[in-house]
């Protein structure tokens, strides 16, 4: 067993869980060992629960398969997707930590242009622990980064910023394209020599963004209940919109609650382009629906008396049913699942529950 | 006289003017010679008109001093600031070209991290000739750059983008800080080794930005009449907000007219920090007022029947007088000057005027 290098820092190691949805053995963790080994891992096993998932030695992790999801949530398990990486949000539900970092199992350690391995987790922590500036577009990017400040023209009353709820990281090698773009540009790659952008920026208030779940961190206490990845995959008419859905919901709630969302650094190395033909099958309704979904989220106004994430999310679920069900009856089902998700969240995250026995998956290693 | 290197391209050389406000000899042009020499230069001489400004040999340029401004505009010359770089907008008025690049005389050629000299003008042209994406926040930055596209989650109906009206470039070495930040961080520098961000991005619709006039290009036909740099400097209670004012006005008009604003590349090398004590004197009212100005611009809604930049700008001038004059009577004067500016613009840019004899400054060289 390799020990983590002594010079690697593990910030917030007792306050952060790493959540990984998977259907296969987690050999990819070997490369992340120096960075991830100090942390607790929550593996959400998708698909056949009888399959045994192997985790490399030396990681502190617990694993939940579909049987565990059903056991923990009972009838409320209906809100957790099956055969789709959307199942990852079950890990957010059972975590007891303040911060979450979630990563896909085809993502590896990237190198910066100088050739140095990037500690993605440490950069996410830095993004989350420094404020955001959603009310002022700073042309020199993140004003809370060392050696940078607010440029001329920024009202001083805004310079304190707001707490950062979400840190959205990017990808070298395979970019996060939809199926049509994958089909049209099969060779397009994001390489560190010409596409590494050394910046973090706050997404302005009022602007939606396409949140990708591959390389993502968030403050569970600030925004956790909004990080629901929807109904996707098996038995649903749509896939590959799980993270987008969570991002659109979370962003309007962050805007309402004066929380920040950052995007940019850190990069991971995305190794495997998913099959564009299969993706097209999963996505095609989403590609159609997003023409209505985006204007819907752009126009959402949450009532002032919604002061918690849960209140905002329940209000949003009503609006989804009201405004999007004319697009497709699926959105009625999704709106109901959003309510079930909040019930599940409160069930597992109420003070009473936290005092009782913790929810356990299978302890590995 | 050095000839421009044969390998340097001069895109749009017959459709773009370079506008430079100055109070001194233009030796800084020597370094820019390979990039600027193919273009026509409009020099706006600030301050004492009897002073002779020397321009290096071989540049095709015309120079306007205060006497020329008075001669060309008559009573309308009151809208052009004196003893402030805001006078640069006179150059926008008298240009007959479709594109403008404006640069300060303390800005030099920057180098990218590989050590290559950056042709700032060529990058601005590239920014202006490719569309913007103000309705979708693309996490991989400019989707119109080669090797990049829209990421998953972008409605396909938005992927055509909109015409780009403004390209806002950045600065290595001395960042564009206000006086208080200059005073607090006298040593802060933006160096290419650790602060070069290889990105261009569209500023989202509905988001204001701090437009700096140091390194700026725009499409004069699309947005020219909104590029008024206000009443600053001599006889005015404020300075150093000329470019900010133009940027705030131009951005709300771009948003209304579905035009794009890009920021990021290209970088120039900003050599000289202005005196922070003098800057504080010029800025202090602006620092106070911007607390009201920003919310004003954030809330501006232009009527649907304003379909030209001039109509939008005149409407904005009314709103400025109505909403900002309670902050200070200066805004009444500024609102009037905004109207005069549009009158001056139409005077010099009407089809009749263009058929008549062109407005001339002193031809140099």
Give the model's pLDDT for residue B268.
97
Cβ-based contacts of A247 with chain B (< 8 Å): 153
CA angle B266, B191, B38 (to 5 degrees): 35
How far B86 CA sits from the closest chain A CA (Å)? 16
pLDDT of residue A209: 97
Interface test with B, best of A144, A152, A255, A292 (most B CBs within 10 A): A152
Question: Taking the mean position of all CA atoms in its chain, how far away is CA A267?
Answer: 14
| Claim: this prediction has a pTM higher than 0.90 | yes
Model pLDDT, residue A29: 97
CB–CB contact A152 B199 (8 Å):
no
Residue B113's closest chain A neighbor by CA?
A: A113
More reliable by pLDDT, A188 or A201 = A201
- Tell whether the model's pLDDT for residue B280 goes beyond 70: yes
**pLDDT attached to residue B4:** 45
SS (H, E, C) B64-103: ECHHHHHHHHHHHHHHCCECCHHHHHHHHHHCCCCEEEEE
Q: Is the pLDDT of residue A341 over 80?
A: yes
pLDDT-above-70 percentage for chain A: 95
Which CATH class, in words, describes the domain spanning A16-149+156-351?
alpha beta
| B330, B245 Cβ separation under 8 angstroms | no
CB contact under 8 A, B177 and A139: no
**CB–CB contact A207 B212 (8 Å):** no
Per-residue pLDDT at B255: 98
- Domain boundary assignment for chain A: 16-149+156-351
Q: In terms of C-beta distances under 8 Å and separation of at least 24 residues, what long-range contacts does B9-13 make, across chains too?
A: B9/B119, B9/B122, B10/B35, B10/B38, B10/B39, B11/B121, B11/B122, B11/B125, B11/B126, B11/B129, B12/B98, B12/B99, B12/B125, B12/B129, B13/B38, B13/B39
Q: Answer yes or no: are the C-beta atoms of B95 and B19 closer than 8 Å.
A: yes
The partner residue sitting opposite B137, judged by closest CB among A151, A195, A208, is A208
Task: Give the angle subtended at the CA of B268 by the CAs of B253 and B36, to the nearest 5°.
Answer: 90
Q: Tell me the average pLDDT across B270-280.
A: 88
Q: What is d(CA A278, CA A177) in angstroms, rounded to the nearest whole number?
A: 14
Do B188 and A156 lie within an 8 Å CB cutoff? no
Pairwise CA distance, residues A88 & A43, whole Å: 8
Cβ–Cβ under 8 Å, residues A64 and A44: yes
Question: 10 Å Cβ neighbour count for B193?
Answer: 8
Using CB atoms, pick whichever of A151, A241, A247 lies closest to residue B210. Answer: A151
pLDDT tens across B19-70, in order?
A: 999 999 999 999 999 999 999 999 999 999 999 999 999 999 999 999 999 9
Is a pLDDT exceeding 60 seen at residue B206? yes
Cβ-based contacts of A151 with chain B (< 8 Å)? 175-178, 210, 212
- The whole-angstrom distance between residue B21's C-alpha and the CA centroid of its chain comes to 11
Q: How confident is the model at residue B1 (pLDDT cuts 50, 70, 90)?
A: very low
Instruction: State chain B's maximal CA–CA distance in angstroms.
Output: 60
- A204 compared with A233, residue with greater pLDDT: A204
Residue in A with minimal Cα distance to B203? A137
pLDDT of residue A54: 95
> Is residue A77 scored above 90 in pLDDT?
yes
A190's tokens: 């994001």
Report residue A3's pLDDT band, with 50, 70 and 90 as the boundaries. Answer: very low
Q: Look at residue B109 in the predicted model and tell me its pLDDT.
A: 97
**Among chain A residues, CA nearest to B205:** A207
Q: What is the mean pLDDT of residues A149-160?
A: 96
From CA A85, how far away is CA A285, in angstroms rounded?
18
* Residue recorded with tokens 């983590």: A4
pLDDT in tens, A245-281: 999 999 999 999 999 999 999 999 999 878 999 999 9
Output the pLDDT for position A193: 63
Which residues from chain B sit within 8 angstroms of residue A138, using beta carbons?
210
| Mutation target vs B (from A127, A139, A149, A183; most B CBs, 10 A cutoff) | A139
**pLDDT exceeds 90 at position B357:** no
Which residues of chain A make contact with B288, given a CB cutoff of 8 A? none
Chain B residues with beta carbon closer than 8 angstroms to that of A291? 155-157
How close, in Å, is residue B294 to chain A by CA atoms? 8
Instruction: Please list every residue in chain A whose beta carbon sits closer than 8 Å to the beta carbon of residue B185.
Output: 149
The arithmetic mean of pLDDT across residues B104-132, rounded, is 96
Picking from B36, B25, B27, B4, the residue whose alpha carbon sits closest to that of residue B217 is B36
Averaged pLDDT, A211-220: 98
Tens digit of each residue's pLDDT (9 = 90 or more) over A306-332: 999 999 999 999 999 999 999 999 999
Query: What's the CA gap between A209 and B150, in Å, rounded?
Result: 12
How close, in Å, is residue A147 to chain B by CA atoms?
Answer: 6
Residues of chain B found within 8 Å of residue A261, distances taken between Cβ atoms: none
Q: Provide the total of helices (H) and of strands (E) in chain B, helices listed first.
A: 12, 10
CA distance A297 to A277: 28
Share of chain B above pLDDT 90, in %: 87
- CA-CA distance, B312 to B339, in Å (whole number)? 11
Tokens 């192997």 belong to which residue? A54
Burial B136-168 (b: 16+ CB within 10 A, else e): bbbbbbbbbbeebbbbbbbbeebbebbbbbbbb
Best of A113, A133, A151, A153 to mutate (most B CBs within 10 Å, chain B): A153
Q: What is the ipTM of this complex?
A: 0.93
pLDDT on residue A1: 38
Interchain CB distance below 8 Å, A212 and B155 = no
Across the interface, which of A157, A180, A291 has its CB nearest the CB of B155? A291
Which spans in chain A are helix H?
29-36, 66-73, 89-94, 120-129, 179-184, 192-195, 220-223, 242-257, 276-299, 309-324, 330-349, 351-355
**With 70 as the cut, is the pLDDT of residue A192 above it?**
no
Closest by CA position to A247, among listed A340, A334, A166, A344: A166
| Burial (CB count <10 Å: 0-12, 13-18, 19+), residue B106 | middle
Distance from CA of B202 to the nearest CA of A (A): 11
Nearest-Cα distance to chain A for B200, in Å, is 10
What's the rounded Cα separation, in Å, for the pair B365 and B363? 7
pLDDT confidence of residue B127:
98
Residue A275 Cα distances to A283, A289, B85, B237, angstroms: 12, 21, 56, 63
Peptide bond into B266 cis (omega under 30): yes
Q: What share of chain A is helix, strand, coil (3-state, %, to 5)?
A: 40, 20, 45
Contact list in A for residue B199 (CB cut-off 8 A) is 197, 199
Integer CA distances (angstroms), A68 to A93, A360, B126, in order: 13, 8, 55
Distance CA B253, CA B297 (A): 10
pLDDT at B5 over 60: no
């Amino acid at each position: 067993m390799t020990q983590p290098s002594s010079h690697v820092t593990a910030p917030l190691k007792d306050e952060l869980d790493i959540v990984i949805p998977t259907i296969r053995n987690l050999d990819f963790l070997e490369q992340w060992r120096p960075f991830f080994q100090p942390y607790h891992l929550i593996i959400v096993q998708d698909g056949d629960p009888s399959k045994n998932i192997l985790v490399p030695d030396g990681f502190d992790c617990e694993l939940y398969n579909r049987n565990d999801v059903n056991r923990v949530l009972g009838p409320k398990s209906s809100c957790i997707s099956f055969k789709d990486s959307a199942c990852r949000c079950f890990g957010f539900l059972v975590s007891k930590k303040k911060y979450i970092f979630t990563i896909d199992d085809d993502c590896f350690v990237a190198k910066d242009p100088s050739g140095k391995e990037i500690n993605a987790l440490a950069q996410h922590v830095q993004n989350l622990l420094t404020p955001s500036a959603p009310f002022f577009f700073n042309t020199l990017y993140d004003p809370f980064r060392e050696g940078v400040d607010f440029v001329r023209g920024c009202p001083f009353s805004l310079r304190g910023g707001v707490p950062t709820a979400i840190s959205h990281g990017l990808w070298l090698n395979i970019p996060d394209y939809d199926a049509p773009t994958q089909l049209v540009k099969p060779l397009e790659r994001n390489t560190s020599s010409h596409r590494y952008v050394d910046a973090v920026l706050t997404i302005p208030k009022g602007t939606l963004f396409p949140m990708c779940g591959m390389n993502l961190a968030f403050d569970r206490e600030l925004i956790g209940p909004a990080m629901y990845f929807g109904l996707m995959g098996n038995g649903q008419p749509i896939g590959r919109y799980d993270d987008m859905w969570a991002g659109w919901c979370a962003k309007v709630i962050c805007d309402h609650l004066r929380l920040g969302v950052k995007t940019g650094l850190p990069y991971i190395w995305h190794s495997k382009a998913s099959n564009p033909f299969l993706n097209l099958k999963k996505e095609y309704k989403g590609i159609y629906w997003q023409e209505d979904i985006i204007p819907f989220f752009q126009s959402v106004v949450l009532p002032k008396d919604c002061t918690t994430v849960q209140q905002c999310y329940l209000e949003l679920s009503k609006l989804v049913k009201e405004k999007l069900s004319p697009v497709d009856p699926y959105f009625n089902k999704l709106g109901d699942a959003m309510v079930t998700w909040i019930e599940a969240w409160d069930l597992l995250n109420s003070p009473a529950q936290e005092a009782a026995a913790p929810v356990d998956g299978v302890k590995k290693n």
